A and B are shown apart, each in its own frame.
Chain A
């Protein structure tokens, strides 16, 4: 027991140093990641699987994407005074100090606010006007999604050298994550109505095939980024960053297991209208959503409170 505690000492020290203000930043960051990825992923889902009016209505993207984009925009703007407050010692007075707000904005964080904000506004506005899957609306939605993902590369560990490679890998990683995360709620919804079972089953099977490629890209880019940023694997179990990353990887393994169960067992059972297949599939998708939320929380903790080299 004492050996286990001593191994976990870096993580325990980090947790002891993380005050209430830092935890607030972590929660807001996690919520921002989730809502931004749902908005972007909703666009991917609509563009790839849209076109069946009944399924489109059931998926509810017309309300989901603007709602997620609007929430992400609000959380993005909230991060600005929270960062200023943290820099000033964790007080609300510092959060609204003009000098600190200007300092935060006058740098990479400001670039992220402008890029992500523009992208989210584009998603919000375009989706309200039209949910067309092709033409100018689709192109504008793609641009908005691209701007949001690009914004993530402006701040943080991937902004170091080699810049272009790290940012490209992070873009690919986040694109794959958005594809997966953004599909969960629409898939949950379209698998509900019994009269949509067959068209929903076709979408679920097609998603399973496409998601295999996305998952492979997600894992490959994620592992490479982690290896590069930590300068090897030696600190995976010995640094606070590595230990939190290990928890994230463990949650990811569980998520992959669920995804495999869905693809190879639950979706085929659903397509064959097996008894209780609908409820089991939806429960599994809900569990995936919970694990995704946990992974995003751990990611927010990593990016907010520590760094790869400790």
Chain B
């Protein structure tokens, strides 16, 4: 068995490393516009998603009955708590899916899908 001193020293070094590590946030989606599962009358002017902690969005797509929806804005790689965009052309009636992926500050890869219907 290695000496007790070796184990204590390694344990102490670990403890100091742990204590020195900055606090990292695990971001969670807090809401979206349109809300998940909602039905909206007419094409929405805005499509948005927001989080409780900063998130670096790497993918934000909207797809519907006619395939991919062109958007006015794409997310950059900066950490943000809210991303908002709008459809380049009005959305036809039907079911739509918002798909996003991103990196939270705790290194966790996050992804979600939001569904809404245009009437």
Contact = CB atoms under 8 A, between A and B. Distances in A.
Interface string A219-234: 0000000000000000
Contacts, number: 101
Nearest to B25: A160
A89 B19 CA distance: 35
Interface of A: 17, 47-48, 83, 86-89, 99-100, 103-104, 107-109, 111-112, 133-134, 138-139, 142-143, 146, 150, 153-157, 159-161, 163-164, 167-168, 171, 304, 307, 309
Main secondary structure of the interface of B (DSSP, over half): mixed
Contacts of B109: 83, 86-87, 304
Contact of A150 (B14, B28, B102): B14
B62 to A, nearest CB: 13
A304 B113 CA distance: 16
B107 interface: yes
B49 to A, nearest CB: 15
Contacts of B24: 108, 159-160, 163
- Counting from the closest, the 10 A-B pairs by CB-CB distance are A108-B107, A155-B107, A159-B106, A87-B58, A160-B26, A109-B107, A159-B24, A138-B2, A139-B6, A167-B18
Contact of B14 (A83, A87, A146, A304): A146
28 contacts: A47-B1, A47-B2, A48-B1, A86-B101, A87-B58, A88-B59, A99-B77, A103-B77, A103-B103, A107-B105, A108-B106, A139-B2, A139-B10, A142-B2, A146-B13, A150-B18, A153-B18, A154-B107, A155-B108, A156-B107, A157-B106, A159-B26, A159-B106, A160-B25, A160-B26, A168-B15, A168-B18, A309-B28
